[in-house]
Amino acid sequence: MASQQTLILIKPDAAKRRLTGLVIDRLDAAGLTLAGAKMVSVSEKLAKEHYKEHEGKHFYADLVRYIRGEHHAIPDQRVLALVYEGEDAIALARKVAGATNPEKADPSTLRGSFGRVTTTGQIENLLHASDSPASAEREINLWFSPSEIIRPVAK
């Protein structure tokens, strides 16, 4: 498996609960390497584009509000966006994150340990991690411009 890059977003529940460092620490401990990092003020347009595969689903409108910090009183819609790289980085980051639904996620994962399903059914699960090479490419290009990412140097 060749080296890959993947997009991670620290979601507002993780930011609100001061778990940003923990998420970064787990990804670091898994052997992933940072290739890009920035705070982003998430416009409605960016949130909708990022989650466009879910358009029309019952949780879509709340998901757009969630990633923009509206459920956690995060000022200015700020989200930490990260690009990680490494061998099999996409699957590895998903493994560190755990299953989408924290109630089904392995308890040793970030989502299993710290995620929750709210009383209204919203899944709060700390981080976004790209789910395939095609998604990773689309999402990295959506959140970062090329000059903001370290690309592996050919040796």
- The C-alpha atoms of residue 32 and residue 110 are separated, in whole angstroms, by 15
Residue 121 or 146: the one with the smaller Cβ distance to ligand CDP is 121
Can 72 be counted among the known catalytic residues? Answer: no
3 state DSSP class of 68: coil
Phi-psi region of 126 (alpha: psi -120 to 50; beta: other; left: phi over 0): left
- The C-alpha atoms of residue 6 and residue 85 are separated, in whole angstroms, by 6
Contact code string over 81-120 relative to Mg ion, x by CB under 5 A:
----------------------------------------
- The C-alpha atoms of residue 122 and residue 103 are separated, in whole angstroms, by 12
Work out how close the CB of 51 gets to ligand CDP at its nearest, in angstroms, rounded to a whole number: 6
Contact code string over 17-56 relative to ligand CDP, x by CB under 6 A:
----------------------------------------
Which positions are annotated as active-site residues? 128
